[in-house]
Structure 1
Amino acid sequence: MADNKVMGESTTPPAKIGILTVSDRASRGQYQDQSGPAIREYLTEVLSTPFEVDYRVIPDEQALIEETLIDMERGGCGLILTTGGTGPAVRDVTPEATERVCSRMMPGFGELMRKVSLEQTPTAILSRQTAGIRNACLIVNLPGKPRSIRLCLDAVFPAIPYCLDLIGGPYLEADPAKVQVFRPAN
């Protein structure tokens, strides 16, 4: 499902961002996914560049997660934000799937997300969020709770646009009143 954010006229095609919710129960319709929409809401709030979203909800199955991440990247997503499947439960396999499809891991993302989360709750130590690079795509594993998603994105998003610049991904700019993106001075 694609969703465009129109920000004035631009000759540059919108950046394509994948939002992948990994949840057995949400994929079966036992409850409505709130985490994926929380990511979309965050992006709509902070990004000033046009973007479109490829949003999917799938069960906690490693092979399917891997296939979906590959499909989203091949479909043009330069940034994929996952939610769910990062805990210690047996079926929490999102980090393993991410590691399998990435050529390089970016452990600093997970380290920072755990640090800010630990300031809120001691169970954040159980989180296994990570990030990695697949071709010109950055994949970031976020927690499954909407409040935690915002907390983690506030922490790591300032580095995401510059990381995308370095790997040849889409150019993203944010509203400086919402988030201060870091790019070194030329």
Structure 2
Amino acid sequence: MFKVGVITCSDKGFLGEREDLSGKLIIDILERNEYKVESYKMIPDDKEVIKKTMIDMSDKLKVNLILTSGGTGFSKRDVTPEATLEVSDKNANGIAEAIRSYSLSITKRAMLSRAVSAIRGDTLIVNLPGSPKAVEEALDYILDTLFHGLEILTDTRHDCARK
């Protein structure tokens, strides 16, 4: 069972002005798919806070996966992708590209996503959209493949070739 950290980046959510439906949905979907949510944080759209939260989850809690929600749009306060890249060792571009590509089949607005995916040590970090509908669509699309990627990242599986 892979350990996961969930981070919602939202000024309004952090201030209690908006309920975090996306973060709760991520947790629900993960638990239904046998992932163990180790930590959930609702934080403001502040790059340093986002970076510190990701570093803590990765380095201290040793989660295998961090899923973020929010902060990937065009607003001046949207800095989740920048924070993700600043704490990462390697890019894992294909995941964010796959989400965007799939989402474009649903809405043209997906082209406005700046979400990224990357690796810090033994932790995969994936930025998800802020809307619950988009979160559910993205996770439905990538979750089974993420499992295989996490097996490779955590050295619990070695055979990548299809039979």
* Same-fold call, TM cutoff 0.5: yes
Secondary structure, in 3 states, of the residue corresponding to 1:89? Answer: coil
Q: Which runs of 4+ in 1 moved over 4 A?
A: 183-186
Counterpart selection for 1:137 from 123, 126, 131: 123
Cα deviation, residue 120, structure 1: 1.3
Counterparts of 2:161 and 2:21, CA distance in 1 = 35
The residue type paired with residue 120 of structure 1 is I
Measured at CA, do residues 64 and 83 of structure 1 come closer, stay the same or move farther in structure 2, by a change above 3 Å?
same
The residue type paired with residue 25 of structure 1 is K
Q: Compute the RMSD of aligned alpha carbons.
A: 1.8
How high is the TM-score relative to the length of structure 2?
Answer: 0.91
Q: Which residue of 2 aligns with 1:162?
A: 148
Q: Which residue of 2 aligns with 1:107?
A: 93
Q: Identity of paired residues, percent?
A: 38
Q: Does 1:44 align with 2:31?
A: yes
| Structure index of larger Rg | 1
How high is the TM-score relative to the length of structure 1?
Answer: 0.80
Aligned pair count reads 160
**Contact 1:24–1:60 at 8 Å: present in 2 too?**
yes
**Contact 2:72–2:78 at 8 Å: present in 1 too?**
yes
Counterpart selection for 2:10 from 12, 18, 23: 23
User: What are the superposed Cα offsets for residues 83-124 of structure 1, whole Å, 9 maximum, x if unpaired?
Assistant: 000111111100000000010011111111111111111111
Q: Which residue of 2 aligns with 1:72?
A: 57
Q: Which residue of 2 aligns with 1:175?
A: none
Counterparts of 1:104 and 1:55, CA distance in 2 = 24
Could you tell me which runs of 5 or more consecutive residues in structure 2 were left unpaired when the two chains were aligned: none
**Contact 1:78–1:170 at 8 Å: present in 2 too?**
no
Counting helix residues as a fraction of each chain, which structure ranks higher? 2
Counterparts of 1:21 and 1:160, CA distance in 2 = 20
